[in-house]
Amino acid sequence: MARSTPVKKALRSLTWLLVIVAGLTAINGGAVLWNHASWAPKLALDLEGGTQIILSPVVANGASAPSSQQLEQAVAIIRQRIDASGVSEAEINTQGSQNVVVSIPGIPDQATIDRIESSAKLEFRPVLVSEQAPTSAVGTPSATPTPGASDTPLPSTPSTSPTNASDLAWVTPALQKQFNDFSCDKVDAAGTNVADPKKPLITCDDTSTYKYILGPVEVAGETISDATNGQVTNSQGASTGKWAVNIVFNAKGTKQFAEVTTRLDALTGVRNQFAIVLDGRIISAPTTNAVITDGKPQITGSFTQASSKTLADQLKFGALPIGFKVESKDIISATLGSSQLQSGLLAGLIGLILVVLYSLLQYRTLGLLTVASLVVAAVITYLVVVLLSWREGYRLSLAGVAGLIVAIGITADSFIVYFERIRDELRDGRPLESAVEAGWKRAIRTIVASDTVNFLAAAILFIVAVGNVKGFALTLGLTTIVDLVVVALFTHPMLQIIARRPFFAEGHRFSGLDPKALGAIYRGRATFRDPVNVSASKKASVSREVQKRQTIAERKAAELESQGASTSSKSPKGKDS
């Protein structure tokens, strides 16, 4: 038997499916072999437990404890930061009146903890004084202050009221002395990260080579509307390989930034410099070469790709209103017992068996194809879940498991839509092979349209939502795509092939595709009675009369209509569409 085109196409589709499954398996296998990934999907907090990190706020001496509003804000920001690093289904809430509890599945690394706990408070301050910091290698500071001198308190309020943040009047004798005594290894202890924004600040750069006196905050991090990371390009537009964080200010920040750069541009020496302070440390202090009016400065420093991404994420979601430190880090057990997962899987199994029984009842042998398709869908879904949990930190929660079980129904619907279309074509008197092709043309349109709607829901929720909803969106999107892949690359090609088997092609009673059972009546030599005409006639009680009295033109039109109904959905009469 020569292979006809549909069979060739079918085999090609099946080959593609095999390539996809083999590819996914190979990637996972490689990950297991070389990257310590696992064949089992990672489980979420509710099923596997994880690590509970209790963060307590760091407040400046004498400052009041953080308000509940600030804590809520901190929870929201931490959640966004965690979400930006992957879908982990973390749980973040407040505990007591002070602490924030972050529960993360698995054991987080230091980078994850840094991402969570650092406040990421960005400030722009003008430089007033800078000098090389004594390094520990130099030994004892040369100018040891005489104890007697510090007995008399030095004036700590400016003698003249400073006119702007760059005014040297900020540098009072007391501040100057403090600056002289300041050692860069004491930056963290000095509480520079919780400094008063309205006062000058003494701090160091992040390599501790220079120490600075900075003016009050000119532009605060809250005015940042967006931040991205990217490579620095030189004047020719070529990449220099250095990483930077690009900031976009909002209108207020843009205006403030323009004013400051205008003033600093006119100044000389160190006072021309602008310090970018992150959590109390200067990450860079560039000189002001031009007035920046577009509100889009670029921060360079000693960034790597990962550190620039982290900072950009932190700046984008805003600084934490309060700084935190890790109070405790404990392993917690699963909130749901393993019995919950087992019951869930049992429920899934029962559901699946019921679906199989119903399919067999409804579609006879064809129901087996539904079962096989569901198995293929399950295999692909499993491989993708494992892959996502390795690459994206995706974790399966009990809600996720329930979502996947529910997807059985939605996936099976594609087969039902398809099979019903084929039956419709058989009822119209087509032989099976062409009924499969015609039915497919119509069914795939419907399946693509309805899956598009589902996928749209998933994609938008994935982009917009945070927390648990994000994980759900990923599950929904995943099952929608798997549905489409399976119906196009497995169910249809398989049906194309089995439609040639005599069992189906001749419409065996148990094939589920028996034309006689479907109401198509054989009239001899591949001609069936045309049931569409009959359908119209029986529709209304009066139409039998109508049919009798049909004019030739009307009868022709009715015939045309029925042909149109059985060839393809591309009807030239698009009046109503």
Partner 1 sequence: MASFAQFGNDLYTGKRSYNIVGRRKIWYGIAAVMILAAIVIPILRGGFIFGIEFRGGSQFQVSHTTDLSQPFASDTVTKVAPASNPRVSIVGGDSVRIQTDQLSDTESVKIQQALASAYNVPVKNVTASFIGATWGQDITRQALTGLVIFVALAAIVMALYFRTWKMSLVAIVALLHDLIITAGFYGIFGIEVTPAAVIGFLTILGYSLYDTVVVFDKIRETTSEDGAESRRTFGESVNLAVNQTLVRSINTSIVAILPVGAILFIGAFALGAGTLRDISLALFVGIIAGTYSTIFIAAPLYAHLRSGEEAIKKRDKRTNAVRQASVTS
Question: Of 179, 324, 390, 472, which lies in the binding site for partner 1, with binding defined by CB under 8 A?
Answer: 472
Site string for partner 1, 341-370 (x = CB under 8 A): --xx-xxx-xxx-xx--xx-xx--------
Tell me which stretch binds partner 1 (CB under 8 A): 134-142, 154-162, 235-243, 399-407: 399-407
Size, binding site for partner 1 by CB under 8 A = 103
For partner 1, the binding residues in 409-438 under the rule CB under 8 A are 409-410, 412-413, 416-417, 420, 423-424, 427
Question: Of 91, 123, 205, 437, which lies in the binding site for partner 1, with binding defined by CB under 8 A?
Answer: 91
For partner 1, the binding residues in 157-176 under the rule CB under 8 A are none
Is 35 one of the binding residues for partner 1 (CB under 8 A)? no
Query: In terms of Cα–Cα distance, which of 321, 327, 279 is closest to 68?
Result: 321
Q: Please say which residue, 268 or 339, places its beta carbon nearer to partner 1.
A: 339
Q: Residue 279 CB, nearest distance to partner 1 (Å)?
A: 23
Q: Please say which residue, 72 or 433, places its beta carbon nearer to partner 1.
A: 72
Kindly report the number of other CB atoms within 10 A of residue 107's CB atom.
10
Q: Please say which residue, 292 or 476, places its beta carbon nearer to partner 1.
A: 476
For residue 369, give Cα distances in angstroms to 349, 374, 416, 550.
18, 8, 11, 44
Site string for partner 1, 61-90 (x = CB under 8 A): ----------xx--xx--xx----------
* CA distance linking residue 95 with residue 567, whole number of Å: 66
Is 95 one of the binding residues for partner 1 (CB under 8 A)? yes
Question: Of 445, 501, 522, 527, which lies in the binding site for partner 1, with binding defined by CB under 8 A?
Answer: 445
238, 231 contact by CB (below 8 A):
no
Is 405 one of the binding residues for partner 1 (CB under 8 A)? yes
Tell me which stretch binds partner 1 (CB under 8 A): 14-22, 250-258, 282-290, 459-467: 459-467
For partner 1, the binding residues in 527-566 under the rule CB under 8 A are 531-532, 534-536, 538-540, 542-543, 545-546, 549, 553-554, 557-558, 560-561, 564-565
Sign of torsion over alpha carbons 349, 350, 356, 359: negative
Question: Of 255, 450, 481, 505, which lies in the binding site for partner 1, with binding defined by CB under 8 A?
Answer: 450
Spell out the residues 6+ positions from residue 140 whose beta carbon is closer than 8 angstroms to its own: none
Q: At what angle do helices 552-567 and 531-539 cross, to 10 degrees?
A: 120
Is 330 one of the binding residues for partner 1 (CB under 8 A)? no
Q: Please say which residue, 65 or 350, places its beta carbon nearer to partner 1.
A: 350
| Tokens of residue 169, six digits | 């009047």
393, 85 contact by CB (below 8 A):
yes
Is 406 one of the binding residues for partner 1 (CB under 8 A)? yes
179, 213 contact by CB (below 8 A):
yes
Is 519 one of the binding residues for partner 1 (CB under 8 A)? yes
DSSP state of 381: H
For residue 148, give Cα distances in angstroms to 144, 152, 176, 181, 570.
12, 8, 17, 15, 99
| Tokens of residue 54, six digits | 């209790």
* CA distance linking residue 82 with residue 112, whole number of Å: 8
